[in-house]
Structure 1
Amino acid sequence: MTTHTALIVDDEPDIRDLLEITLTRMGIKTLTAPDLASALSLLKKHNPQLCLTDMNLPDGNGIELVQWIQQHLPATPVAVITAYGSMDTAIESLKAGAFDFVSKPVELSRLRELVTSALKLTKPDSAVDDATDDPGLLLGNSSQIKRLRNQTRKLARSQAPVFISGESGSGKELVARMIHMQGPRSDAPFIAVNCGAIPSELMESEFFGHKKGSFTGAVENKDGLFRSADGGTLFLDEVADLPLAMQVKLLRAIQEKAVRPVGDTKELPVDIRLLSATHKDLAELVQEGSFRQDLFYRINVIELAVPPLRDRTDDIALLANHILGRIAQEYECEAASLTQDAVDRLKEHDFPGNVRELENILERAFTLCDADKISASDLHLGSTATDGSTNRSISATSEACPTLIPEGDIDLEGYLESIERQAIQKALEATRWNKTAAAKKLGISFRALRYRLKKLGME
């Protein structure tokens, strides 16, 4: 069994002794230093798997030590010990590259959690090399995507809150998942939530949980998102959509590392890595007064920008082939491929919806193409929403199942789906369930029929 070594840097003998005893009981060998100079000397002689340093040292500060380790021993996580309530100092250390921080007086349970997480980052060199070559969820060979993958690997080694910026559909949640998967919390839950999709009156209960009977409809205890993510990562997507009242409560939960369920009288500790994202300009919203500045600084310790698809067109062919393979597998059809004119047309497109738009375009083209080849004309780019695919679908369903649009408010998507389902059912019955003949009767390809049967759950 490998014995880990940790360097403890603090000018107070009592603190050094406390940390040394705690780590020794965890089976960790310790080195101690009372000042920055001694710490640097030990770091040069040894290669510890962890460093714990006080922020205030007689001949310097913990930030200088963090920066030195980042430059010379980047594989060694370093945690900073800060004075109670010194949140600005803690954030400064995280920005400098610290793995995490712990406040005085040191809570031993919190310290043990931190040490355990930090030591999970210790991997053999071969494992690090393999991770460097693995694209994971972020496919692409462009310089932008390679840089993004490298940034996610570095950020995975920290517990600093990360704000992921980027346009809609650019892959912000994939980036968040990559940070989680490559970090010490990878075995724990990754909980993603769209803040804009939660009704404001239910938001506190969704985030923090509630006690049974605390309000009408609370028929049982609920953990909430924070406690569900305990030990893991909580990803707040579209964080800009949080109402101001909820922003105050969220800030307290982040700072105190604890939540109070609705109807409860006490706070419950939680240990999460916080990642957040939005396609909106959060700094501008702060200026407008619709987003709290203190919360902005707390979640935006490190900002990571995801490039739009139009800035990495060299990745389009690779992404398209991956998406088409996934679609074929999902709908149990033969895979289709793009012709060169289709690839060229995709590279010319501006992609305001980014990778999500590419997925939608290819899914539509997949159902319409012939002979397993998608040409530029199958993409229907540059046309209106009622393009060829929609017209063909509507004309086919209308002919097979003529009906009147009902008056009043309707669920348009569900209504059109029901028409499509009826049309396919009638076509299959008329052809005695011969799918090839039914597709011809509907005026669509056999592939399109297979796709729709799978999508509508009619198989």
Structure 2
Amino acid sequence: MGTTLICVVEDDPIMGESLADRFRLEGFEVDWHIDGESALDAFGSRPYQAVISDIRLPDISGEELFSRAKATRVGVPPFVFITAYASVETAVSVLKSGAADYVTKPFDIGALVEKVRLLTGTGIPDQAMPAQSELGVSEAMRRLAEMVPRIAGRARSILITGESGVGKEVVARFVHRHSPGETLPFVAVNCGAVPDTLLESEFFGHERGAFTGAERQKKGYFEQAEGGTLFLDEIGDLPLSMQVKLLRALQERRITRVGGEREVETTFLLICATNRDLAELVRLGKFREDLFYRINILQLRVPALRDRPDDVLWFAHRFVRDIAGRLGEPIKLFHPSAEARLATYGWPGNVRELQNRLERACIVCSGNMLFSSDIFEEDGAQAVPPPNMDTPLEGYMAACESAFIRAALLQHQGHISETANALGISRKSLWEKMRRHAIAAEPHILASK
């Protein structure tokens, strides 16, 4: 996504510099003009997506700037005016003429940034909105994204928990990007994928000649992550023998390579992740209690995708866009039946399942629109077929409604009351729609419900 270009028109050097600096920090590209005429000249060649202008300027007023811009251009960018309290009447006047908004001095520059973000919409660069561009739009993921910058530079050990496929590594990389070692290595290790016989060598490294086949010195994961982040995924899969060695290395921040005699100091941010209940593993004697407390200083929990439905379509559109870019093809659109099915499916495989289903659908589907059946092969005849352009709109919309109701019934396991509540209609209305669309009340599912 390209950078959002805005225009600041402010003759006060302190105010102008403050505005330009703050918006640049927020990820915007800023042109700063100290008079209205120079701003007008720039309007012809610079594709501004918003204009922030003082009402009082040294040559022409902000009101005249806006008026002349409208007279000479088609598609004037939204204007936000800065005004003193005494000039509020003028600001209200330009609002009636089509200006977007105004703020009165003294104003909260953070609130002004939010106004401009809303006005520029999708032009907001990803880095200006990390909560949405990285982790999701649901409340749970926004809270998580807001917390990360506060802890990334202070915590030495973080534990990320959540079901398989929820995006624990995505969160870990997000933490790394907000840590002091963001420009240094991020070393990701799947603890369950390293053979037991190689664990010590892979983690701590080895010296040349330490064992058969060790033809040269090799740095282990601890040294590779020096200054950066060591991410141990599925740490609950580590055998107890390795847990002891890991605990000692974490306590002392020193390791000794296999076959070596000299201790090597290590400094890194440790992030561990697991989809297992470590406390239960401790109780069963399968995970060391002291290691559990060492890595569980600060825990971040990533909710299952079914518990944050707001993120489903947000992820879906991002994945389809990214897949199209990778394949060099136009971005595929979602049919309403597909969006309804995506929003109501339970996602047992979480974000990973969503991504895999969409990647397959984009590769297999030859058209430019994804239908429910493209994403969910198991839906079969329940999916709405591609529309016949000769079909009346009323019939096509009825087909979409039928698909939505079927998906809702499936989501709520056939419970009529729960489905009706989710759809925002009465039980009677739901039964009538089911009869109209010939949706059978399966006896083994819907009886007595």
| TM bucket, shorter chain | 0.5 to 0.7
Secondary structure of the structure 2 residue equivalent to 1:178: helix
**What is the distance in 1 between the residues matched to 2:143 and 2:208?**
48
* Percentage of pairs with the same residue: 46
List aligned pairs for 1:340-419, cutoff 5 A.
Answer: 340-380=336-376, 382=378
SS in structure 1 of the partner of residue 155 of structure 2:
coil
Q: Contact 1:210–1:223 (CA<8 Å) still a contact in 2? A: yes
Q: Please report the RMSD computed on the Cα atoms of aligned residues, expressed in angstroms.
A: 2.3
Instruction: Determine which structure has more spread, i.e. the larger CA radius of gyration.
Output: 2
Which one-letter code corresponds to 1:258 in the other structure?
A: R
Aligned to 2:223: 227
Structure 1: 5+ residue runs without aligned partners?
1-124, 389-459
Match of 2:210 among 214, 222, 230: 214
Partner of 2:243: 247
Contact 2:156 2:268 in 1 (8 A): no
- Tell me the equivalent position of 2:398: none
| 1:135 to 1:299, Cα distance in 2 relative to 1, 3 A | same
* Deviation for aligned residue 1:370: 3.9
1:318 CA drift (Å) = 1.4
Q: Distance in 2 between matches of 1:139 and 1:198?
A: 28
| TM-score between both structures, scaled by the size of structure 1 | 0.54
Q: Any conservation in 2 of the 1:162–1:275 contact (CA below 8 Å)?
A: yes
- Does residue 259 (structure 1) correspond to residue 283 (structure 2)? The answer is no
Q: Distance in 2 between matches of 1:171 and 1:241?
A: 18
Q: Does 1:145 align with 2:145?
A: no
Match for residue 184 of structure 1?
180
1:237 corresponds to 2:233: yes
Match of 2:131 in 1: 135
Cα offset, 1:371, TM superposition? 2.5
In the alignment, the residues of structure 1 paired with residue 132 and residue 220 of structure 2 have an alpha-carbon distance, to the nearest angstrom, of 29
Give, in angstroms, the shift of residue 271 of structure 1: 0.5
Report the residue type matching 1:264 in the other structure.
G
Q: Please report how far the alpha carbon of residue 381 of structure 1 lies from its aligned counterpart in structure 2 after TM superposition.
A: 5.2
User: Which deviations, in whole Å up to 9, do the C-alpha atoms of 1:292-314 show, x marking residues without a partner?
Assistant: 00000001101110011111111
Cα distance per residue 1:317-352 (max 9 Å; x no partner): 111111011111112222212112101101111111
What residue is the counterpart of 1:57 in the other structure?
A: none
Alpha-carbon distance, 1:132 to partner? 6.9
Inter-partner Cα distance in structure 2 for 1:302 and 1:135: 20
What is the Cα deviation at residue 152 of structure 1?
Answer: 1.7
Aligned length, in residue pairs: 260
How far is the alpha carbon of 1:216 from its aligned partner?
0.7
Contact kept? 1:196, 1:238, Cα under 8 Å? yes
* Contact 1:137 1:174 survives alignment (8 Å): no
Structure 2: runs of 5 or more not aligned:
1-109, 115-124, 384-449
- Aligned with 1:135: secondary structure? helix
Counterpart Cα distance in 2 of 1:315 and 1:239:
27
What's the offset of the Cα at 1:202?
0.3
AA matched with 1:146: R
Deviation at residue 148 of structure 1 after TM alignment: 1.3
Q: Within 5 Å, which residues of 2 pair with 1:86-125?
A: none
Q: Is the 8 A contact 1:195 1:237 kept in 2?
A: yes
Partner of 1:49: none
Distance, in Å, in 2 between the alignment partners of 1:160 and 1:269 is 15
Cα deviation for residue 235 of structure 1 reads 0.3
Q: 1:138: how far off?
A: 2.5
1:368 positional shift: 2.8
